[in-house]
């Protein structure tokens, strides 16, 4: 058997083992953490819904990931919108990534290094989250583009024509892949020694890819301020001041390094501690982690092996976008470590290359790989369903409002609505303290709570949460209709605020039936200015004379002469209905 054929069979073995390790995820379901928004209820994924004109920018998600959405849509077209289909997609991508890393290490190092580096990454419990979480596909696609880019950089004397296409696809799968040009240029510097002189085509590709990255970054920054379907923007909870930013960076570094070295008790979300003092344990742990990393970096940079500097630089570059240095992260999660962990695993395996010839060291490597495999198998059931996932996270932080809401929503979706209401009512104080009363909370209270309690909670939400989101406005309107209320005083003002906000929201999305229903509600509550505006926008969308006449009637009752004249002029210019 030739060396090339043996290497290919080994790569195939890596692929199969990676599939087998995570195969039970095929029986898991969707979880209430981005899966409904990104996959289950996303019209971009539904093959029965035409792809919208702005689908390439995916504005509803707050950043451009059209490649991920297109792959989701293709998966749904072939296999349907089922959890098993999307879990299977993630399994295939992770197995492919493991195989690509193995082949990359075989090109740059010895066979034992390739086996160890691949095992340290593919079997590490940190990768359980992106592999067993359906929405983790974007990180897996980013890793695929990253590894293909490195393959092109180290194994081909000439630049392959597909390099720019792969880089752009990775950036449109997940925006943090904008670091790919930097990775490519760093490869030229670290491995060639003379930047751009030995392989000018590769350096030029890095520059061209940088221009593409700038376009993707610009689109991402614009869309990050675009409200998502629930009214939330990607910049809402990002650290503001310099001290808070430093504390967030140190906490994230401490958390990620601890999870790399001791992957125990991993959870879907970790929340940073705000208002840290310099002597607080989280700050000191983060500072210690930073100093430890700097010491390792200095040792690597002083080493003669250029491959160590290369892998270290790649780890730093890929970690930078998710390190909390940039205002794009609200919290830290293990998915963010997927690509940086691959670089760290390769770095460790390459550093151990001189020692891997010894049987004792090989035995330690096998034992370490087996330990990681066991921990990964123990970690996977956490992602079986939403109740298991958020129940574990809530047990670690029982007073977190976000976790309380997600666990209550999981109970509700599981058909245990009474339990969900009782649990939420018991923990409502924690939710109100963090100002996290959203549409889900209000809907559950509006459906189950006594009318006085539900009305009091709506009044509290409008009084204490200045940025009430569209889902809360919508559920307030639904509550009013279902209970048949006639509002006065502050409640009437809140309804007017809700109707005005929803008018802008639905008009921007061209949702005519919603505008019509809200116009009817406004008229029933005798909120004539709001009713007129809603019916007028409905007319502008549907060009139905009935809407214009309803708007005219509302404006006349509101005694708004300018609006009346405007609608009358519109009616005169329209042919009468026979």
Q: What is the pLDDT of residues 396-411, one digit of tens each?
A: 999 998 899 999 999 9
CB 51 within 8 A of CB 44: yes
Q: What is the pLDDT of residue 63?
A: 80
CB 274 within 8 A of CB 263: no
270 by DSSP, 3-state: which? strand
Strand extents, DSSP E, 69-192: none
Report the C-alpha gap between 497 and 461 in whole angstroms.
13
CB 407 within 8 A of CB 387: yes
Sequence-ordered list of residues with C-beta below 8 angstroms from that of 456, at least 6 positions apart, any chain: none
Least confident span in 71-80, 256-265, 342-351: 256-265
Please compute the mean of the pLDDT values over residues 244-255 and round it to a whole number.
Answer: 82
Residue 231, pLDDT > 70, answer no
Higher pLDDT, 383 or 333: 383
Report the C-alpha gap between 529 and 526 in whole angstroms.
9
What's the half-sphere exposure (Cβ side, CA atoms, 13 Å) at 3?
5
Q: Kindly report the pTM of this predicted structure.
A: 0.86
Phi/psi of residue 327, nearest 5 degrees? -80, 55
Report the C-alpha gap between 68 and 293 in whole angstroms.
33
Q: What is the pLDDT of residue 434?
A: 84
The closest alpha carbon to 321, from 380, 411, 403, 234, belongs to 234
What's the half-sphere exposure (Cβ side, CA atoms, 13 Å) at 12?
6
Least confident span in 72-76, 447-451, 508-512: 508-512
Higher pLDDT, 158 or 552: 552
Please compute the mean of the pLDDT values over residues 352-371 and round it to a whole number.
Answer: 92
Report the C-alpha gap between 261 and 125 in whole angstroms.
11
Burial of 553 (0-12, 13-18, 19+ CB in 10 A): middle
- Looking at every residue in the chain, the average pLDDT score rounds to 85
Chain mean position to CA 112: 35
pLDDT tier for residue 198 given thresholds of 50, 70 and 90: low
Chain mean position to CA 564: 46
Q: Is the dihedral of CA 248, 253, 258, 263 positive or negative?
A: positive
What's the Cα-to-Cα distance from 4 to each of 8, 106, 279, 365, rounded to whole Å? 6, 11, 56, 25
Report the C-alpha gap between 462 and 437 in whole angstroms.
10
Higher pLDDT, 197 or 397: 397
Burial of 429 (0-12, 13-18, 19+ CB in 10 A): exposed
Report the C-alpha gap between 382 and 171 in whole angstroms.
30
Please compute the mean of the pLDDT values over residues 208-215 and round it to a whole number.
Answer: 78
Residue 196, pLDDT > 50, answer no
Q: What is the pLDDT of residue 316?
A: 94
Report the C-alpha gap between 204 and 225 in whole angstroms.
33
CB 394 within 8 A of CB 431: no
Q: What is the pLDDT of residue 438?
A: 79
Location of structure tokens 């490195």: 150
Q: pLDDT tens for residues 531-572?
A: 999 999 988 888 888 898 999 999 999 999 999 999 888 888
The closest alpha carbon to 245, from 189, 302, 283, belongs to 283
Higher pLDDT, 101 or 402: 101
Q: pLDDT tens for residues 496-534?
A: 988 988 888 888 777 888 899 999 999 999 999 999 999
Report the C-alpha gap between 378 and 358 in whole angstroms.
31
Phi/psi of residue 77, nearest 5 degrees? -65, -40
What's the Cα-to-Cα distance from 574 to each of 351, 546, 571, rounded to whole Å? 79, 11, 5
Give the DSSP H or E segment for 403.
Answer: helix 401-413
The closest alpha carbon to 138, from 170, 99, 178, belongs to 170
Please compute the mean of the pLDDT values over residues 118-131 and round it to a whole number.
Answer: 96
Strand extents, DSSP E, 194-314: none
């Amino acid at each position: 058997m030739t060396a090339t054929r043996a290497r290919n069979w080994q790569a195939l073995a890596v692929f199969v083992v990676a599939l087998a390790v995570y195969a039970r995820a095929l029986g898991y379901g969707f979880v209430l953490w981005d899966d409904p928004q990104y996959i289950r209820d996303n019209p971009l994924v539904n093959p029965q819904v035409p792809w919208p004109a702005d689908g390439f920018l995916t504005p509803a998600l707050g950043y451009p990931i059209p490649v991920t959405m297109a792959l989701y849509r293709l998966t749904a077209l072939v296999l349907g919108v089922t959890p098993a289909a999307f879990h299977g997609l993630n399994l295939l991508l992770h197995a492919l990534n493991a195989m690509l890393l193995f082949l990359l290490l075989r090109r740059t190092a010895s066979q034992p290094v390739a086996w160890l580096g691949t095992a340290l990454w593919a079997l590490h419990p940190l990768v359980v989250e992106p592999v067993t979480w359906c929405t983790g596909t974007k990180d897996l696609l980013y890793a695929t583009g990253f590894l293909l880019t490195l393959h092109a950089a180290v194994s081909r004397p000439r630049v392959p024509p597909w390099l720019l296409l792969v880089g752009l696809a990775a950036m449109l799968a997940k925006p943090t892949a904008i670091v790919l040009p930097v990775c490519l240029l760093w490869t030229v510097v670290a491995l060639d020694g003379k930047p751009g002189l030995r392989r000018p085509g590769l350096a030029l590709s890095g520059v061209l890819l940088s221009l593409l990255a700038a376009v993707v970054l610009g689109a991402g920054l614009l869309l990050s301020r675009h409200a998502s379907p629930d009214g939330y923007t990607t910049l809402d909870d990002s650290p503001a001041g310099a001290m808070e930013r430093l504390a967030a960076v140190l906490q994230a570094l401490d958390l990620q390094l601890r999870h790399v070295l001791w992957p125990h008790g991993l959870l879907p979300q970790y929340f940073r501690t705000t208002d840290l003092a310099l002597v607080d344990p989280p700050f000191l742990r983060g500072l210690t982690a930073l100093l430890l990393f700097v010491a390792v970096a200095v040792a690597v940079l002083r080493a003669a092996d250029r491959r160590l500097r290369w892998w270290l630089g790649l780890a730093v570059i890929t970690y930078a976008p998710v390190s909390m240095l940039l205002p794009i992260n609200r919290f830290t999660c293990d998915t963010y470590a997927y690509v940086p962990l691959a670089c760290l695993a390769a770095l460790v395996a390459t550093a151990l290359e001189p020692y891997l010839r010894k049987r004792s060291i090989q035995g330690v490597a096998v034992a370490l790989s087996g330990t990681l495999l066991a921990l990964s198998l123990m970690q996977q059931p956490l992602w079986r369903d939403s109740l298991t996932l958020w129940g574990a996270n809530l047990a670690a932080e029982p007073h977190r409002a976000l976790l309380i809401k997600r666990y209550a929503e999981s109970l509700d979706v599981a058909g245990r609505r009474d339990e969900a209401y009782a649990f939420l009512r018991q923990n409502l104080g924690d939710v109100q303290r963090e100002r996290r009363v959203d549409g889900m909370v209000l809907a559950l209270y509006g459906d189950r709570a006594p009318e006085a309690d539900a009305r009091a909670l709506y009044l509290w939400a409008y009084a204490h949460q200045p940025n009430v989101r569209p889902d809360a406005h919508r559920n307030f309107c639904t509550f009013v209709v279902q209970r048949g209320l006639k509002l006065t005083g502050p409640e009437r003002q809140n309804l007017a605020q809700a109707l005005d906000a929803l008018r802008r929201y639905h008009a921007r999305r061209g949702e005519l039936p919603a505008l019509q229903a809200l116009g009817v509600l406004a008229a029933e509550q005798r909120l004539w200015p709001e009713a007129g505006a809603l019916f007028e926008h409905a007319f502008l969308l549907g060009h139905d004379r009935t809407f214009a006449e309803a708007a005219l009637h509302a404006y006349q009752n509101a005694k708004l002469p300018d609006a009346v004249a405007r609608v009358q002029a519109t009616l005169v210019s329209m042919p009468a209905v026979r």
